[in-house]
Amino acid sequence: MAKVKVYVTLKPSLLDAQGRVVQTALENLGYGNVEDVRIGKYIELEVKENGQTLDTQIEEMCRKLLANPVIENYRFEVTE
Amino acid sequence: MAKVKVYVTLKPSLLDAQGRVVQTALENLGYGNVEDVRIGKYIELEVKENGQTLDTQIEEMCRKLLANPVIENYRFEVTE
Amino acid sequence: MKFGVIVFPGSNCDQDAYYAVRDVLKEPVEYIWHQEHDLKGVDCVIVPGGFSYGDYLRTGAVARFSPVMEAVKEHTDKGGYAIGICNGFQILCEAHLLPGALVSNDCLKFVCKYVQLTPANLNTPWTNQCKNGQVLNIPIAHQGGNFVCDQETLKRIEDNGQVILRYCDEAGRVTPEANPNGSLNNIAGVINERGNVAGMMPHPERAVEKILGSADGLNILRSVIEWARR
Amino acid sequence: MLIKEPGSKTVSKNTEPIAPEVYREMGLIDSEYQKIVEVLGRHPTYTEVGMYSVMWSEHCGYKYSRPILRLFKKYKEALEGEGLENAGVIDIGDGYGIVMKMETHNHPSAVEPFQGAATGVGGILRDIFTMGARPIACLNSLRFGPLDDAHNRYLFENVVAGIAHYGNCVGVPTIAGEVVFDDCYSGNCLVNAMSAGIVRIDDIASACAKGVGNSVLYVGSSTGCDGIHGATFASVELGPDSENRRPNVQIGDPFQEKLLIEATIEALKTGFVVGIQDMGAAGITCSTCETSAKAGTGMEIDVLKVPRRQSDMTPYEVMLSESQERMLAIVEKGHEDDVAAVFKKWGLNAVVIGHVTDDGLVHVWEGDQLVAEVPAKSLADDAPTYYLETEEPEYLKEVRCFDLTKIPEPADYNEALEKLLGSPSIASKEWVYRQYDHMVQTNTAILPGADAAALRIRGTKKAIALVCDCNGRYCYLDPFVGAQIAVAEAARNLACVGAKALGVTDCVSFGNPEKPQVFWQFKRAIEGMAEACEAFDTPVISGNVSFYNETPETAIYPTPVVGMLGLIEDADKHCTPEFKREGDVVALLTGRRITKDSESDPGFCAVNDLGGSEYLKVMHNVVAGQPPALDIEAEKRLHTCLIEAISSNLLSSAHDCSDGGLAVALAESSIGGKLGVEASIVADCSASVALFGEAQSRAVISLPPDKLGELGELVEKHAIECTILGKVQGDRFKIDVNGVTVIDREVEQITRVWKNAIPERMEGRA
Ligand SMILES: Nc1ncnc2c1ncn2[C@@H]1O[C@H](COP(=O)(O)OP(=O)(O)O)[C@@H](O)[C@H]1O
Ligand SMILES: [Mg+2]
């Protein structure tokens, strides 16, 4: 059983409105030293290896479903 | 300038409706070997060091704002 | 013209669209369950608003892979009409039947209210019953209606007349203040290159009777009927 | 453990006593434990004590409030009548009934505002569609501490977002509500969710487990350890990870609820569902024992068959779990598959977990182990009842003798008006209802922002109107009169849109009932509400009680919220509060006591009308005096007059005078219509009382001058006083009192103040 961690982030060219709001909120809480906040998704998968290359499979899942390439970037790590 | 990565996940005992729906969708796409999906938040912060211990500060931010300790767990990494 | 309203388990504007077509426009209409592979010979598909499969992960992301969306793709590839409203628009973008994507409103909140729209191209299957300079009063109700795409795509769809509706003020001026969600160029609705597929965030099916505050949505729904008749 | 002898129905009961620490942790007192032993004739099992502890809690068993709630005649019938088990029904003619109910989610919302509020909406919706009704409207009544406190802002922000998230996703429009801010709600926010549904009277679903041998079907989401009695953490069976294992809060999934709504309505159409009940508080325990108690039957279920989200759940956990989006259906034997197929089509679990028996007992099995055997009725109906002591609170003497005549006039009435309009309790609630989908289902004929919202009823000429209301400050000063005013104001709001009041649901929140002063407030409030509901002929068909809304520092004001349904006979003939056109005459309609004795005539207004007013609070930070007097007969005449005037198309606008008095009512009509007004008041009292006093039974109307004659006849007929105030005109908001111009502002300016008050506090902070 492989444990896969997928990180999906908004493309840098897009304004991360949520990140900006969180940054302001942190500032109000007294953390003026936080200069940038970007908010993305963190997805944990448990995958049973089935002979096929895991990397290719995960890559496909990301492209098709887990991220939308029009607006998002993704990367992943496979751990055991 | 430190780069901080925060991972926020729903406590394991709570219903992760998102994760369930995504798992079913992956199954329908032919990835029956995905056994579990949990979806959380991935937050990137850029923080200017200001003399105070970074770890304590981030810990506080997580508890106060970035995560809701009643329903979520969090962890973070500081990289330069 | 025979309409078909797609029903995903989490659709919640399906019955409103059905009602608008059957009881107000008095046209034939059928529901089409998300598991169907066949569109029952409809001429125009409505992908309604709602939360398709709960809209987790990203709005419309999961719905795109349902059996019925295969059928919709075949239908539109052959030139059949399809319009996605609100969540339906998000689904059609995810399915790459329409350009761009819809991200969270810039205010980050769900926004439900009447907005004003101005048609940006009258020569389409979806706007031909509107008049030049007309201001349509139609409600929005969404949290992720912020239309984005890359600069190249934006230029292309603007040049091709693929933008069909823009948010405007009561006088018809397209201003930043009139933009309820941060959409690029105040875009409220677009079509594909061929024009047979449309997506819009505002809900024309909610503006079909005076008692609901406006009947301007009929201009959109009637346009496709007229266009097909020509 | 109970042991079943092989091949027999008898059970040997070798149970050990439960340690007092354990049952006390669950909230049972010693005498209650003794009563359980008496009922069972032995000591209960761990699972059984758990079941009793939740069913005999105030929340499920109404052990403190039941004796008082008997004051609601209809409520009692609704609670006990067959077919009306979950929420009452009001007949609106044409074969349709409206089901409605309101419930609090105060405590969960205080811990986790987003999920707490969201699951509150989910729970109340299930109460509606479990009766076979399609939910057509949500409302909410909210109370928070002042918005200058960051935690209150956090609660407000997330409660509203949670309500929006759930309601928007299930596709039920959230069409009305109220939000009030006051210090006493800091640390004790109130989150009341209300819902209404429509059902053909002939199709109302029953919640009875009838028919021995019929199957018990579990449907919906799987069961997890969430929401189990927080108090049981300390019990012996739990390991160190207990907090993680049994989170106190539940997480809802509106998508599942949406599926459950559609599937339930479809399943009921098969005709094979004999009875159905939602799983709310006390989950499977409550739904099994209540359905069998009502039918006089028993039930046998196996917890191993219950779909689960977590492994190794104990029977106790399964029976007490409050996981969301689940229902229990009693299905005709032999037709289990027909019904299950419907739920499965919608992607939901549907599993037979047991059957109906004839012995009046609920048997809970874990495989072949019997873990509970209890009389259904003892759980459902025999919760001990307590008659708590009452005592008039000390504070009343002090606040009531406050001398209102000592209140100085403001230096500038314009500023006073703006301060009131900018007070978050009075200011525009657009920030809230913008976030709610209030138009889905395409029936909303009056959108939020009016005195009441209205939905047309397809297939008829009618529309229904809905509203909820309560002034906690009045109830603090006099719970009896305050609760009566809550009823009167709700009915007045309905009358202002042209609707006749038909029925009430309530949701009352108080402090700790074991304090005699608090219980006195509760008793007086219910007495007031019951009397007023009788006078308005609006039966209380459902309701909910929430106690212990207090922290060591503060208790909340008594807050008996009234949710009210009204009927508009002709949907096209309704009215809204905003001015419509220049040149219309503006007038004040007042329901006044009919009296020959001129001494008892209160005149245009009296200084007492400032008692408990928003003006007193905002300008002087004083909460004192008595609430304004209420004459229910006069109030009723006003409503009849308004409804007739609206149905005869006489009025351009109608708006009730409430918080902030006449000046605020006029301002709201002006702001809504983007039109100015020039009004003159002649009054035998000070200008501040005339402008901001909150005398009851009044409404501001506008109408074309040529309709004045007809209106005159109407007001004569109903013995209503009609005072002409002025005219709709221009873009200035101008009021004279006794010939002196005291208020003169641009409409645009007061609009900004009123509209920005909440957004500025929520978002404008740098
Ligand atoms: N929590 C809420 N949810 C939905 N609508 C709300 C809420 N609070 C207020 N509203 C709407 O805002 C308008 C003004 O509310 P309020 O000032 O309480 O009315 P009134 O003073 O006439 O009782 C009403 O239409 C009401 O339904
Ligand atoms: Mg008001």
Distance from the C74 Cα atom to the nearest Cα atom in chain D, whole angstroms: 25
Are D45 and D3 within 8 A, CB to CB? no
CA torsion through residues D525, D528, D534, D537, sign: negative
> Can you point out the beta strands (E) in D221-341?
273-278, 298-302, 326-331
Strand partners, D708: none
Residue D27 to residue D240: CA distance in whole angstroms: 22
Residue A35 lies in domain:
2-79
Q: How many domains does chain B have?
A: 1
Please check whether residues D750 and D630 belong to one and the same domain. yes
CA geometry: angle D151, D154, D157, nearest 5 deg: 150
Domain boundary among D542, D574, D606: D574
Check if C74 is active-site: no
Token pair 């005398």 is at which residue?
Answer: D695
Residue D517 lies in domain:
73-204+422-574
Residues of A (36-75) whose Cβ lies below 8 Å from D: none
Fill in the DSSP letter of residue D264.
H
Bridging pattern class, strands D134-144 and D215-220: unpaired
Number of neighbouring beta carbons within 10 Å of residue A50: 10
Q: Which two tokens stand for residue D459?
A: 């297939």
What positions of D carry a catalytic annotation? Answer: 59, 105
Please check whether residues D229 and D257 belong to one and the same domain. yes
Q: What is the CATH number of the domain that holds B9?
A: 3.30.1280.10
Q: Which two tokens stand for residue D160?
A: 């509203």
Are D177 and D139 within 8 A, CB to CB? yes
Are D481 and D626 within 8 A, CB to CB? yes
- Please give the average per-residue pLDDT across C157-177, as a whole number: 97
**Does some domain include residue D348?**
yes
Residue D726 to residue D594: CA distance in whole angstroms: 25
User: Is A47 in Cβ contact with B43 (below 8 Å)?
Assistant: no
Q: Which positions ≥6 away from C98 have C-beta within 8 Å? A: C84, C89, C92, C190, C191, C192, C197, C198, C199
Are D247 and B72 within 8 A, CB to CB? no
Please check whether residues D200 and D312 belong to one and the same domain. no
Q: Which of C10-14, C101-105, D65-69, D226-230 has the lowest mean pLDDT?
A: D226-230
Distance from the A67 Cα atom to the nearest Cα atom in chain C, whole angstroms: 8
- How many residues can be counted in chain A? 80
Q: Is the CB of D451 under 6 A from ligand 1?
A: yes
Please check whether residues D186 and D235 belong to one and the same domain. no
Are D250 and D118 within 8 A, CB to CB? no
Digit-coded pLDDT (tens) for B19-34: 988 999 999 889 999 9
Per-residue model confidence (pLDDT) at position D594: 56
Nearest C-alpha neighbor of D314 from the set D228, D243, D380, D215: D228
Residue D262 to residue D258: CA distance in whole angstroms: 6
User: Is B45 in Cβ contact with A36 (below 8 Å)?
Assistant: yes
Residue C49 to residue C33: CA distance in whole angstroms: 14
Q: Which amino acid is at D298?
A: G
Residue D331 to residue D208: CA distance in whole angstroms: 11
Gyration radius from chain A CA atoms:
16
Number of neighbouring beta carbons within 10 Å of residue B40: 22
Residue C200 lies in domain:
3-229
Nearest CB to B33; choose among A41, A44, A47: A47
Residue D394 to residue D460: CA distance in whole angstroms: 53
Q: How many domains does chain C have?
A: 1
Per-residue model confidence (pLDDT) at position D16: 83
Q: Which amino acid is at C119?
A: P
Q: How many domains does chain D have?
A: 3
Token pair 């810990």 is at which residue?
Answer: B59
Give C-chain residues touching D171 at CB under 8 angstroms.
Answer: 12-13, 50
Mean pLDDT by 10 residues, chain D (766 residues): 53 74 88 92 91 87 80 57 60 93 90 92 94 97 96 95 96 98 94 96 90 94 78 37 58 92 96 92 90 92 92 89 92 96 95 94 92 91 87 93 91 97 97 97 97 97 97 97 97 98 94 93 95 93 88 89 97 97 97 57 70 96 93 96 98 97 98 97 92 96 97 95 96 96 97 97 70
Helices (H) and strands (E) in chain B, counts: 2, 3
Residue D334 to residue D34: CA distance in whole angstroms: 42
> Can you point out the beta strands (E) in A2-71?
2-10, 34-47
Q: Which amino acid is at C221?
A: L
Strand partners, D543: D506
| A62 touches C: beta carbon within 8 Å | no
Please check whether residues D316 and D461 belong to one and the same domain. no
Residue B16 to residue B10: CA distance in whole angstroms: 7
Number of neighbouring beta carbons within 10 Å of residue C27: 16
Residue C148 to residue D556: CA distance in whole angstroms: 47
Nearest C-alpha neighbor of D672 from the set D489, D348, D448: D448
- Please give the average per-residue pLDDT across C82-104, as a whole number: 95
Q: What is the CATH number of the domain that holds C19?
A: 3.40.50.880
Residue D146 to residue D472: CA distance in whole angstroms: 15
Q: Which two tokens stand for residue D581?
A: 């056109």
Ramachandran quadrant class, D220 (left: phi over 0; alpha: psi -120 to 50; beta: rest): left
Q: Is the CB of D58 under 6 A from ligand 1?
A: no
Q: Which two tokens stand for residue B29?
A: 């796409």
Are D669 and D577 within 8 A, CB to CB? yes
Please check whether residues D117 and D78 belong to one and the same domain. yes
Per-residue model confidence (pLDDT) at position D12: 53
Tell me the three state secondary structure of residue C38. Answer: coil
- Closest residue in A to C107 (Cα–Cα): A17
Number of neighbouring beta carbons within 10 Å of residue C151: 9
Q: Which amino acid is at A12?
A: P
Where is D206: in which H helix or E strand? Answer: none
User: Is B34 in Cβ contact with A47 (below 8 Å)?
Assistant: yes
Tell me the three state secondary structure of residue D92. Answer: strand
Listed in sequence order, the DSSP H helices in D3-43 are: 20-25, 30-40
Please check whether residues D588 and D699 belong to one and the same domain. yes
Give B-chain residues touching D251 at CB under 8 angstroms.
Answer: 10, 14-15, 17, 71
Residue D81 to residue A50: CA distance in whole angstroms: 59
Are D386 and D514 within 8 A, CB to CB? no
* Substitution target from C55, C57, C59, C70 for chain B, most B beta carbons within 10 A: C57
Residue D52 to residue A72: CA distance in whole angstroms: 52
Q: What is the CATH number of the domain that holds D655?
A: 3.90.650.10
Tell me the three state secondary structure of residue D631. Answer: coil
Fill in the DSSP letter of residue D436.
S
Give C-chain residues touching A70 at CB under 8 angstroms.
Answer: 93, 100-101, 148-150
Per-residue model confidence (pLDDT) at position D83: 45
B75 by Cβ neighbours in 10 Å (0-12 / 13-18 / 19+) ranks as: exposed
Q: Which of C86, C93, C130, C149 is catalytic?
A: C86
Are D257 and D342 within 8 A, CB to CB? no
Token pair 């949701």 is at which residue?
Answer: D507
Per-residue model confidence (pLDDT) at position D224: 87
Where is C56: in which H helix or E strand? Answer: none
Where is D722: in which H helix or E strand? Answer: strand D720-728
Q: What is the CATH number of the domain that holds D455?
A: 3.30.1330.10
| D258 touches C: beta carbon within 8 Å | yes
Please check whether residues D109 and D42 belong to one and the same domain. no
Please check whether residues D328 and D267 belong to one and the same domain. yes
Give C-chain residues touching D259 at CB under 8 angstroms.
Answer: 9-10
Nearest C-alpha neighbor of D492 from the set D659, D658, D663, D693: D658
Nearest C-alpha neighbor of C6 from the set C133, C132, C91: C91
CA geometry: angle C20, C110, C45, nearest 5 deg: 30
| Chain centroid to CA D247 | 26
